[in-house]
Structure 1
Amino acid sequence: MFPVILLLMLVILLAGCSSSSQKTSALKENAKTEKEYKEVTIDNYGEKLVISQKPQKVLTLGPNATELFIALGLSDYVIGNSLNNHSRGALPAYKEQYEKIPELTHGSATREAVLTSGADFIYGIDWEFGEAGLDKKELASSGIITYQNSALTLEQIYKEINDLGKIFQIEDKAKAFIADQQSRIAKVKEKLENKKTVNVLVYDSGGEGVFTAGGTNFESLLIEQAGGKNIFSDIKDKQWTTVSFEKVLEKKPDYIVIHDYDAPSAEKKIEEIKNNPALSQLDCVKQEKFVVITLESVLPGDRMAYTVEELAKGFHPDLFR
C-alpha cells in the first residue's frame, strides 16, 4: 500500500515540477521576446509614432479595424472594439473570432470607456478622433498609442497593414495578405478590361437630399476598381456630403450602391428611393439596378478585394455568372 502511495506522490511532485518548469520557460521566452523587440518609428499620416514595446492590449475602433486585426492573426491582442452599429457582422471566415472579442461600446467609443479599458494601443477609424471624438493627446498622456485608420488609396491602406506588421512583428504575414488582395483585384480588372464604365450613385441615407460619398472617399476608389465611377467624384473637398435630388437626376446614374448597416435596413432604403418623387424617375430605379453592400465593406480595412469583387458582380453581372 505504502509503495503505491509513495509512487503517486512522486508522480504528482514531478508533474508539479514539470508545470513549474514550463511556466518559467514561458516567462523567460516572453521576456526574451520583449527584450528583442526593436523600437519602431511610424509615420501615421504626418504624425510620428514611436513604439518601444509590442502592444499587448489593443482597442479596434470600427468593424473594419477589428476585422483587419483578425485577418492578420492579431485578434488575441484585442481587448475591445466599437462601432458594431455600423456592421452587419463579420465575414464568415472571421465570424467566430470576431464574436469572441469584447464590445467596448456598441456605437462610437466614449472617452471614459477608452481611458478605463487598460489599453496601450488603439487602431481606429479617423472619425473616432478630433473635436467630436477622442483626444489623441489625452490618450498619449494616459499611455495609449493611437494609430489612425485614414486611408484614401490602396497604397495608403497597404502601408497601414505593413505598419501593423512592423509593430506586431508579423511583417511576412502582412506582406502576404497585401499580395493576396492585389492579386484578386488585378483579376477583376482583367475581366473588366473591355467593359464600359458605369455611373454609380452611392446612397448612404436619404432625407432632404442624398447623403453620399465624395471623390476623396475610399469607396470611390473601390467603385472605380470594380468598373464604375462615382457620379459625385468631382466633389474633392469632402469624403461625405449631402446632395440635392435634382443634382442626382442631372447625373443620371446607371446603378445605385446602397449601404446596409444598423437602421433603416437596405430594404427600407430601396423603398424610400422608389417612393421618392424625384429619384423614382431614374431609369436605374425603374429597372431596380440596386447593389447592396455593407458599410464596413467600403471602409479601408481587410475587405478591399472582397468589395471590388462584389461591386463588379453587381455592375457587370454578365461577367460573373
Structure 2
Amino acid sequence: MRKAFLTTVVCAIAAGAAIADTTVQSCNRSVTFDAPPERAISNDVNLTEMMLVLGLADRMVGYTGISGWKTLDEEMRAGVEELPELSAQYPTKEVLVGADADFFFAGWNYGMKVGGEVTPETLEPFGIQVYELTESCSHIMDREKAGIDVMYADLTNLGAIFGVEDRAAELVESYRADLAAFTDRLEAGEPLRVFVYDSGEDTPFTAGRYAMPTALIEAAGGVNILDDFEKSWATVTWEEVVDRNPEVIVIIDYGEVTAAQKREFILSNPALAGLAAVKNDRFVTLEYVEATPGPRNIQAIKTLAEAFWAE
C-alpha cells in the first residue's frame, strides 16, 4: 500500500511538473520554460516596452541597446528608471552572463546578428534562454508578409513564458478592439503608394515586405511601394523609389539625424523632385518605437491614416 501511495505521489508530482512547463514557438525553434524567468533582459526600446506593458519590470535585471541610438521619452524613462542599461548598443555575451540573466528578449538585428557572438545557441550553455522577436524571424527563415498579428503573437508568447497569460490576453484584445473601432470608421479610397524612409543619403534604408511598417501602412489604407521587396529592413536604390513614385513618404525619427533633416534632404534632392510626395509635400513622421513591433503600433496606424486621408 505504501509503495502504491508513493508511486501515486511521484506520478502526481511529475504530472504537475509537466503541466508547469510552457513551450512557445520562437522563429524556427520550440522553446520550453520549466518556470517563469526571474532575471530577464530585453534589447531595444520596442521590445522593452512589451515587457513593461505586461508588468514585467520586476522580473528584469536590466535592458540593452537603447541609448546608443535613441532617446527615451518621458513615459519610457519612467518605466525603466529602476533598471540599469547594461549596454548602450548590442550586448556582448559577457554582459548578459555577467548580469546573471536567465532570459534574453531580442531579435535578429534587434540585439543579435546571424553568425554573431550572441545567439540562442551561444547563450544556451550559460542557462540563458532566448525568445526572438517574431518580425525578425525573416532573417533566418521563410515568413509571410508582415502583419499586426506578429506583435500580438509576441505579447501572447511573453505572457505564457512569464505566467501572465490573462494580462497578455486582455492587452491583445484591447488592441484588437481599438484598431477595429478605428478602421471601421475609416473611409479610405484607393490605397496610397507609400515609401518608408529610415535613413541614408547615397542609398535609402527602408522597410520591405517583412518589416512592421508594411503592416501599419496597409492597416491605414496605403500600400508600401516596396512590399514585394523580400527583406525586412534593408537598402534599395533611389532609382527604385523614383520608378515607384510614392504619393506619401513616412520618415522614421530616431538617431542623430532628425526627421526634419531627413525631410529637408529629400526636398532638396533634385533627383527626387518629380516624386508625387515631394510635389505635394506629403510627409508623415513615425517614431522608431511606433514603427517597430510593440505597444505603440495601434497609435502608429492612426497617425498614418490621419495623414493619408486628412483631405
Deviations 1:199-226 (CA, angstroms, capped at 9, x unpaired): 1010011222221111121210111001
Report the equivalent of 2:87: 105
Q: Does 1:265 align with 2:247?
A: no
Q: Does 1:38 align with 2:31?
A: no
- Residues 200-279 of structure 1 correspond to what in structure 2 (within 5 A)? 200-235=194-229, 237-279=230-272
Report the equivalent of 2:14: none
Deviations 1:209-253 (CA, angstroms, capped at 9, x unpaired): 221111121210111001111011111x21123222222122111
Separation in structure 2 between the aligned mates of residue 195 and residue 101 of structure 1, nearest angstrom: 46
Report the equivalent of 2:3: none
Separation in structure 2 between the aligned mates of residue 182 and residue 197 of structure 1, nearest angstrom: 22
Q: Does 1:196 align with 2:179?
A: no
Separation in structure 2 between the aligned mates of residue 173 and residue 289 of structure 1, nearest angstrom: 39
Report the equivalent of 1:306: 299
Separation in structure 1 between the aligned mates of residue 95 and residue 225 of structure 2, nearest angstrom: 39
Question: Is the CA contact (8 Å cut-off) linking 1:157 and 1:300 kept in structure 2?
Answer: yes
Bigger shift: 307-316 or 59-68?
A: 307-316
2:180 aligned residue (183, 186, 199) = 186
Q: Does 1:87 align with 2:70?
A: yes
Question: Is the CA contact (8 Å cut-off) linking 2:22 and 2:32 kept in structure 1?
Answer: yes
Deviations 1:45-73 (CA, angstroms, capped at 9, x unpaired): 22121111221111001111110111111
Report the equivalent of 2:78: 96
> Where is the helix percentage greater, Structure 1 or Structure 2?
1
Report the equivalent of 1:163: 157
Report the equivalent of 1:141: 125
Separation in structure 2 between the aligned mates of residue 311 and residue 98 of structure 1, nearest angstrom: 28
RMSD over equivalenced CA pairs, Å: 2.1
Q: Does 1:150 align with 2:134?
A: yes
1:290 aligned residue (283, 286, 307) = 283
Separation in structure 1 between the aligned mates of residue 296 and residue 47 of structure 2, nearest angstrom: 10
Percentage of identical aligned residues: 30
Task: Report the alpha carbon displacement of residue 95 of structure 1 after superposing the two structures with TM.
Answer: 4.1
Task: Report the alpha carbon displacement of residue 36 of structure 1 after superposing the two structures with TM.
Answer: 11
State the AA in 1 paired with 2:166. D
Secondary structure of 1:115's match? helix
Moved over 3 A (4+): 85-88
Separation in structure 1 between the aligned mates of residue 81 and residue 304 of structure 2, nearest angstrom: 26
Bigger shift: 224-233 or 159-168?
A: 159-168
State the AA in 1 paired with 2:165. E
Query: Given the two structures, how large is their TM-score scaled by the length of structure 1?
Result: 0.82
The alpha-carbon distance between structure 1 residues 42 and 283, as it changes in their structure 2 partners (threshold 3 A), is closer
Deviations 1:173-220 (CA, angstroms, capped at 9, x unpaired): 100100111112112321224433111010011222221111121210
Count of residue pairs the alignment pairs up: 283
Question: Is the CA contact (8 Å cut-off) linking 2:107 and 2:133 kept in structure 1?
Answer: yes
Report the equivalent of 1:115: 97
Secondary structure of 1:317's match? coil
Q: Which runs of 5+ in 1 are unaligned?
A: 1-34
Secondary structure of 2:267's match? helix
Secondary structure of 2:273's match? helix
Secondary structure of 1:99's match? coil
Deviations 1:250-292 (CA, angstroms, capped at 9, x unpaired): 2111110001111211111112111212113323223321111
State the AA in 2 paired with 1:87. K
Separation in structure 2 between the aligned mates of residue 133 and residue 160 of structure 1, nearest angstrom: 24
Query: Given the two structures, how large is their TM-score scaled by the length of structure 2?
Result: 0.85
The structure with the larger Rg is 1
Secondary structure of 1:293's match? strand
Q: Does 1:48 align with 2:35?
A: no
Secondary structure of 1:104's match? strand
Deviations 1:127-156 (CA, angstroms, capped at 9, x unpaired): 222213513212110010100112333333
